[in-house]
Structure 1
Amino acid sequence: MSEKIKKSAVTGHPVAHSRSPLVHGYWLKKHGLSGSYDRIDVAPESAEAFFGDFAASGLVGANVTVPHKEVAASACDWLDEAAQTMGAANTLWLDANGRLCGSNTDGLGFLGNLDQLAPEWDVSRESAVVLGAGGAARAIVWALLSRNFTHVHIVNRTLEKARTIAGEFGSKTIAHDWNSLGKLLGKADVLVNTTSLGMTGKPVLEIDLTPLPKSALVTDIVYVPLKTDLLKRAAERGNPTVDGLGMLLHQAVPGFERWFGVRPEVDDALRTIVLEDLGVNG
């Protein structure tokens, strides 16, 4: 009798745009596995019930995207340290006892992307500057602190939002308003844009990079376009840069390993497939 096919999916609302099936489908085919990975649109009014009785879905696990990451976390019987810290889970699985477990792999995805495309990017760990104070910023701050950066500066137009995140992570994390950016850039080892500015259809991120040391790494979590205006300007002045696509790909690795028992690799072929689907030139 053939082994039961393991089913997984990306859950959220909406999810029609998600590239996760492309990523996991590539890995399933590459490793010759018989599992499946689909999209499941969970309406907001149904989310609590869906995640509360996740075992009834028939899935061995799932990815969770907006707006359900917090609801999913609250439904879990066990959360890893990152998901606990962020109050949000993007990766779910059922353990051997049927408990719903949750992880937040966004920060790991960020680190995996930089480790792959800019080896030794974190040799200088004195100061990191994070632009924005949304959910993505929270994951990036967690990731930078996990690499022992001395100071992580959160810069946001609404200071109170930056203060909220800074208050969650302790004394190494400092909130600033936008007017402080120039002074902070002068001492930055890493600059990360976590805002949607620069994304296709959004306004350009207008900041003066003149004070930024040429050695500072500049990265953007936006990946459409692949090379944002920020990354283009940084590269033109000689800064090392990393685009945001790899974060999307690397955050998917832990879930696939949990569900299907094989740790997949983010390779050039996968990157090319996703870029082609996005209609972006690599």
Structure 2
Amino acid sequence: MSKSYAEVIGDPIAQSKSPVIHGFWLNLVGIDAEYHRCHVKPEGLADYLVARRGDALWRGCNVTMPHKQAIMPLLDRLDPEAARIGAVNTVVREADGTLTGYNTDAPGFLEPVRPKLGEEPYRFAYVIGTGGAARAIIDALFHAEFMIWSISRNPAKAKAEFGHYLGDDPEFLIDLAELKPGPLRPADPEVFSLIVNATPLGMTGNPPLDLPWGGFLGNATVYDIVTSPADTALLQQARAQGLATIDGLAMLIGQAAVAFEKFFGVAAPRGQDAELRKLMTR
């Protein structure tokens, strides 16, 4: 390649929307660089980094499943937030060829949440899932002063993964199978309540997330990080219940903006997010 470039790696990788996002921004700011997909299997991850480390045109890569944790010991340095979360989704090649790992999922997740935080004295979050995405999301919510409940099919795993973020009371570990159907509880104006799907359930090719609504507040906001489709069955059901929603494209664009600046040295141009969303949903 003759141009500077960055890319996204994963296994699989064909579904990634990152090239659309970064390509759109590169065109807007007029940078003569490229952004690609690169299919990297787990057994090829170390060799991939060896090859890229020696390429002065390579600015770095975004990292998706299943490499977010496996890549960590292969890097020269971890940003403190990535080390604390225990997952890397962005690698930057420094001028001296060393590789630094970052986690932009956490700030990307919080970006669409912050404008919704009002004067409510309490912040509650129910996070569904125990994977790498949930790890970054729970860390972000903890540092934004949310009280957090973990909902999963394996509360023991959730305890091991997230116990230091949760309260000591077992009530903060909820078995997904034990949630009950029923009406929403009355809205509580003193609580900002967030329900987050941090699993692949609802993604194209996966079964939907069948979430019983009984017990959740009537003024909750439902945030589904799935990006394909952007308007998941969960979000449609939430709107039918009268709940506010945030889709996964919001997080995807937010985390990409942080990575874009690290790769190319300029802020992502955010004034045309609506046009970008249309491109991503074609």
Q: Give the TM-score of the pair, scaled to structure 2.
A: 0.85
Q: Secondary structure at the match of 2:162?
A: helix
- The aligned counterpart of 1:215 is 219
1:144 match: 141
Tell me the residue number matched to 2:188: none
Query: Deviation of residue 247 (structure 1)?
Result: 1.1
The one-character-per-residue Cα deviations of 1:19-46 (angstroms, maximum 9, x if unpaired) are 2111111000000110111122223222
Deviation at 1:54, TM superposition (A): 3.8
Q: Is 9-18 or 166-175 further displaced after alignment?
A: 166-175
Tell me what 1:279 maps to.
none
Q: Deviations over 1:240-265 (max 9, x none)?
A: 11111111111111121012111114
Which residue identity does 1:156 align to in structure 2?
A: S
How many Å apart are 1:52 and its aligned residue?
Answer: 4.7
Contact 1:11 1:63 in 2 (8 A): yes
8 Å CA contact 1:192–1:218 kept in 2: the answer is yes
Moved more, 156-165 or 30-39: 156-165
Distance 1:121 1:83, change over 3 A: farther
Aligned runs of 1:227-246 on 2, under 5 Å? 227-246=231-250
| Cα distance change on mapping 1:38 and 1:52 into 2, 3 Å | same
Distance in structure 1 (CA, Å) of the matches to 2:14 and 2:118: 35
What is the alpha-carbon distance in structure 2 between the residues aligned to residue 122 and residue 45 of structure 1? 49
Structure 1, gaps ≥5 residues long: 277-282
Q: CA deviation at 1:172?
A: 7.4
Contact residue 154 and residue 175 of structure 1 kept, 8 A = yes
Q: Give runs of aligned pairs for residues 84-95 of structure 1, distance below 5 A.
A: 84-95=83-94
Instruction: Name the SS of the counterpart of 2:195 in structure 1.
Output: strand
CA distance in 2, matches of 1:161, 1:238: 33
- The whole-number CA distance in structure 1 between the counterparts of 2:246 and 2:168 is 24
Q: Does structure 1 residue 165 correspond to structure 2 residue 171? A: no
Report deviation, 1:65. Answer: 1.5
1:166-205, aligned counterparts within 5 Å? 166-169=162-165, 171=167, 174-178=172-176, 181=179, 189-205=193-209
The alpha carbon displacement at 1:170 in A equals: 5.4
The range that moved more, 154-163 or 201-210, is 201-210
**Structure 2 residue aligned with 1:56:** 54
Equivalent pair of 1:155/1:181 in contact (CA under 8 Å) = no
- Report if the CA contact (8 A) 1:221-1:245 is conserved: yes
Change (3 A) 1:169 1:109: same
Decide whether the 8 Å contact of 2:148 with 2:165 is kept in 1: no
User: Does the 8 Å contact 1:54/1:100 carry over to 2?
Assistant: no
In the alignment, is the contact (CA less than 8 A) between 1:12 and 1:66 conserved in 2? yes
Q: State the secondary structure of the residue aligned to 2:71.
A: helix
Structural mapping, 1:22-101, within 5 Å: 22-52=20-50, 54-58=52-56, 59-101=58-100
Match for residue 247 of structure 1 among 251, 260, 267? 251
Judging changes above 3 Å, is the alpha-carbon distance between structure 1 residues 16 and 199 closer, same or farther for their aligned structure 2 residues? closer
Aligned AA (2:131)? G
Q: Distance in 1 between matches of 2:131 and 2:119?
A: 23
Shift in CA distance, 31/17, structure 1 to aligned 2, threshold 3 Å: same
In structure 2, the gaps of 5 or more residues are 186-190
Deviant stretches of 4+, over 6 Å = none
CA RMSD, 1 decimal: 2.5
* 3-state secondary structure, aligned to 1:70: coil
